[in-house]
């Protein structure tokens, strides 16, 4: 079977490889097309994107801590296909396939077609399983742009491709700002290396073209804000807020250090054992990319599951080359590998079962509290214009409503005091925001998660205040799976 698979990809070229990866990505991710939300960030991107489709630039009506290209990608899908979970999740399928395909091309050019293809297959799995990766995260968008740009940087010498590479690096940065560290590390490394070579001028020109294209993309995202007199809001939301977030107390360098030491130690050992060719300029650049991404983890003190998407392409390619140099093919492992590949998407199998069960019990393929809550409000003819979703906030989208305040776009942002100075917001901290929500707006309904703290366990004051508000002024109206609907007492 494994030999048959080898012969299969051996006969494919170009679009055939991409199609195979696209089909694999679709099969692994399809069961999650019907989930209400997989990560709260995805729901937030959808809300801000919908606001943009409705005519409001990101950060003006709704606010979230991401550069504007993230919201633009979602806004394009919503504009073209309407409120469609399937269209959004299909975008994720395509992004994963693109990253895998250009990783294949890098692996093929650096070593051989087998290494490229197997690395690409591994990347489809790694970008689609384990944790919240089944949704469409900003990292999926960022890495698709970045991987194409990296391929062009590694293997193309035409000046036209320098410019395209710069545009793609710029799009990656304006999707997920921390990838700028990887780009800066690549630029700095190439510049220093060029000083030792005779063709220093050619490399400097190349870097200048890439850099100019990158800067043009960043400036282009500012133009709509300049035209609306909101340039300062763009600067504060994209750059200043990101810096404030990265230096906040929530991150922990201690938690990130094990990942950094493990990856760096593994790669340095591979170089020492000559499993990787350190003299290869392209392998050096992949290594520098990894160093840049790891540095960004250290800088923010965070390396969540979806953050690792940025690390996977260069790391998996190098691991594929290393394993090939180890000549593991002499060991008879083909049947364990086949079994592993079949068991790998276990989450997809379980989700398929959940979708089927939901269809049988509720006559709806789409599932989750974020779906059921809006259906409950509609079925019971309840007013929807004054709901505070402290969880399952994708419900706003399905009810054609907006979050009650800019800070409440993402429920966790309510308590991020470090971000308030950059929101162009009337309240200056979380205490003022919660007071405004519960004592001025007075939501008719509040949605929380059953048997869970409303906010992080460290947010003692916010949890105490919110719970007291719910006890004094609300009563539980109903429970929808893991969601509790609280109704304000004055309504009856």
In a domain, 354, yes or no: no
What DSSP character marks residue 14? T
Query: In a 10 Å sphere around its CB, with 0-12 CB exposed, 13-18 middle and 19+ buried, how is residue 171 labelled?
Result: buried
84 domain-assigned: yes
- Domain identity same for 302 and 174: yes
How many domains, the chain?
2
Element (H, E) at 487: strand 483-488
Report pLDDT for 328. Answer: 55
Residues 275 and 382 in one domain: no
Bridge-based pairing state of the strands 483-488 and 474-480: antiparallel
Do 336 and 425 belong together in one domain?
Answer: no
pLDDT at 337: 59
Predicted pLDDT of residue 37: 85
Same domain, 74 and 202: yes
Instruction: Examine the domain organization and report whether 185 and 334 are in the same domain.
Output: yes
Among all chains, which residue has been given the structure tokens 């504060």? Answer: 236
**Domain boundaries, position 313:** 2-343
CB 68 within 8 A of CB 58: yes
The residues facing 389 across adjacent strands are 447
Q: Are 227 and 305 in the same domain?
A: yes
Q: Give domain status of residue 352, yes or no.
A: no
Pair 307, 375 in one domain: no
* Residues 333 and 376 reside in one and the same domain: no
Q: Running along the chain, 492 residues long, what does each successive block of 10 average in pLDDT?
A: 49 81 94 90 96 97 96 98 96 97 95 91 91 88 97 88 95 96 95 80 89 97 97 96 80 81 91 87 94 91 82 94 73 58 76 88 89 95 96 96 96 93 93 96 96 83 94 95 93 50
CATH number of the domain bearing residue 448: 3.40.50
Residue 360 lies in a domain: no
Residues 88 and 201 in one domain: yes
């Amino acid at each position: 079977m494994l030999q048959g698979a080898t012969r299969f990809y051996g006969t494919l070229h170009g679009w055939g490889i991409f199609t195979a990866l696209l089909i694999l990505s679709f099969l692994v991710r399809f069961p999650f097309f019907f989930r209400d939300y997989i990560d709260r960030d995805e729901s937030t991107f959808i809300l801000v994107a919908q606001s943009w489709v409705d005519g409001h630039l990101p950060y003006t009506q709704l606010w979230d801590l991401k550069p504007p290209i993230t919201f633009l990608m979602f806004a394009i899908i919503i504009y073209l296909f309407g409120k469609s979970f399937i269209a959004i999740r299909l975008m994720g399928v395509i992004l994963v396939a693109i990253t895998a395909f250009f990783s294949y091309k890098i692996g093929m050019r650096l070593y051989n077609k087998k290494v490229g293809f197997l690395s690409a297959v591994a990347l489809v799995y790694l970008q689609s399983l384990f944790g919240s990766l089944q949704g469409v995260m900003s990292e999926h968008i960022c890495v698709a742009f970045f991987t194409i740009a990296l391929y062009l940087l590694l293997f193309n010498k035409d000046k036209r491709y320098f410019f395209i590479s710069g545009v793609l690096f710029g799009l990656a940065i304006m999707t997920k700002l921390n990838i700028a560290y990887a780009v800066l590390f690549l630029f700095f490394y190439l510049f220093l290396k060029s000083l030792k070579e005779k063709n220093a001028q050619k490399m400097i020109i190349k870097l200048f073209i890439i850099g100019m294209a990158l800067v043009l993309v960043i400036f282009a995202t500012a133009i709509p804000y300049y035209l609306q007199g909101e340039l300062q809001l763009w600067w504060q939301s994209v750059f200043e807020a990101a810096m404030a977030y990265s230096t906040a107390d929530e991150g922990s360098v201690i938690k990130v250090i094990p990942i950094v030491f493990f990856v760096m130690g593994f790669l340095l050992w591979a170089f020492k054992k000559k499993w990787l060719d350190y003299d290869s300029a392209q392998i050096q650049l992949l290594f520098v990319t990894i160093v840049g991404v790891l540095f960004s983890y250290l800088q923010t003190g965070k390396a969540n599951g979806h953050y690792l998407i940025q690390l996977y392409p260069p790391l998996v390619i190098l691991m594929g080359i290393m394993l090939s140099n180890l000549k593991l093919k002499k060991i008879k492992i083909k049947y364990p590998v086949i079994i592993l590949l079949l068991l790998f998407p276990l989450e997809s199998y379980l989700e398929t079962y959940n979708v089927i069960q939901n269809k049988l019990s509720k006559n709806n393929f789409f599932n989750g509290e974020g779906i059921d809550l809006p259906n409950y409000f509609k079925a019971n003819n309840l007013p929807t214009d004054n709901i505070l979703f402290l969880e399952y906030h994708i419900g706003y989208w399905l009810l054609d409503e907006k979050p009650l305040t800019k800070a409440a776009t993402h429920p966790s942002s309510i308590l991020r005091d470090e971000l308030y100075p950059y929101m162009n917001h009337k309240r200056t901290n979380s205490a003022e925001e919660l007071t405004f929500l519960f004592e001025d707006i007075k939501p008719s309904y509040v949605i929380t998660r059953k048997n869970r703290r409303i906010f992080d366990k460290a947010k003692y004051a916010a949890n105490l205040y919110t719970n007291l508000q719910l006890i004094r002024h609300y009563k539980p109206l109903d429970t929808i799976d893991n969601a509790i609907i609280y109704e304000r007492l004055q309504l009856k």
